[in-house]
Structures are given as C-alpha cells and as structure tokens.
Amino acid sequence: MRNKVVAGPAAAVDGVADGSTVLIGGFGLAGQPLALIDALLEQGARDLTIVSNNAGNADFGIARLLANGRVRKVVCSFPRQSDSYVFDELYRAGKVELEVVPQGNLAERIRAGGAGIGGFFTPTGAGTLLAEGKETRVIDGRTYVLESPIRGDVALIGAYRGDPYGNLVFRKTSRNFNPMMATAATLTIASVHEVVPVGSLDPEAVVTPGIFVDRVVAVQ
C-alpha cells in the first residue's frame, strides 16, 4: 500500500537543496508548519527563496530561518507586522531581498503555478507601484495586469489531519495558503497533527487530495 508517512520532521525535509524556492503555508502563525521549518533549519539548506504571506513572527518559524542567515529572498504580501523584528532588521540592513505581492495575487499566482496556468490578467494592483513594468490589457473597459505563476522546489504545508495517501484536511483559518502551495511544488511535505488510517477521512471533505502531497509527517 502506498505510504507517504515519514518517521519525523528530519526525514520529511531530507534532500532540500541550497538555493531552493520554498513555499511555506500559514497566515501569521496559523497554519505555519513550525516543526518542518525547524527541521529545515537543522537540515542546513541555505540561499533559500521563501514564499509565504508574511516574513516571520517573533523568533519562530520563518523568523528563525531568517535569523540564521538561510534566506536570500522573501516573496510575501505583508512583511511588516508588530513582531516581525527579525525581518525588519535584515531588510533595513540590505541583507534580504523582498518582493511584495498583493495577497490575492500571491494566492492566485501560486494557484496558477500548481494548475499549469502560464499567467493571468487581474485588476488588482493596476495603476500602482506593484504593477510597474508589467504588461497590461484593457478588457471590457477595465485595466488588468499580467501576473506570472509561482512554483516552488519545495512546499511546507501545515495541515490538521492526513492519511498515508497524502489526503489532507485543515482546521479553521489555518487553511489559508496551504492548499494552493501543496499543488505548486516539486516536493510537497505536509505536517499534520494526526495521521489517520486510509478511508477515515470523508472523501467529500478532503481539501487537498493526496496526488499533490509527497510526504506526510505527524507533529504535535
């Protein structure tokens, strides 16, 4: 029987290469796969491009990767938060690159990356700094901006329950970017609070079908 469950976070992040683009789920700390990020820190990959909604909170998760000098570039919608002091200091010192993307564009670019879409026209950001230099098109009298897909070498997903086939369900607002990110990486690694037997997740309620998931690991 297919079994995507691995022994622990270290096994889950095995093989992540230097220079990888890593999609990391979460909105703030909700749905951010902290155990996988900590394991990636231990694993040692560096020169990473991190794609996530935020640029780390306090000294947890993404902020730890940043503080340890593992991150070359952050692609996110909202780096500046009350507790983003690690990122703020690195950014002001010129030690990390930043690409700011409107939140809906970030979600849709990742969705496009996972869905094989080569780009899309969106009204979000038209006429603003964040659309400068981008192709635009007027459709039915409204200006749209061409946005490109985002894919990752790796996606780190924070889910609630998963089965050995990789089917995932999420909990409340911790779903956020996780389902799109799961579709958009070469290697998708999901942490779950609980691994449940095949057949015990309601097929009607599965949010991320296992086809998108390569490794599943249980963390508390």
Residues that bind other proteins (CB under 8 A): 27-31, 53, 77-81, 87-88, 91-92, 98, 100-108, 110-111, 122-130, 170-180, 207
**Alpha carbon distance 73, 141 (integer Å):** 36
DSSP code, position 65: H
**Alpha carbon distance 111, 113 (integer Å):** 5
- CB of 115 or CB of 198, closer to other proteins: 115
Q: How far is the CB of 194 from other proteins (least distance, A)?
A: 14
Q: How far is the CB of 13 from other proteins (least distance, A)?
A: 23
- CB of 45 or CB of 178, closer to other proteins: 178
- CB of 29 or CB of 195, closer to other proteins: 29
- CB of 40 or CB of 184, closer to other proteins: 184
Q: What is the DSSP string of 88-133?
A: HHHHHTT-SEEEE--HHHHHHHHHHHHHT---EEESTTTTSGGGTT
**Alpha carbon distance 62, 75 (integer Å):** 12
Q: How far is the CB of 28 from other proteins (least distance, A)?
A: 4
Strand order in the sheet with 136-139: 120-122, 142-147, 136-139
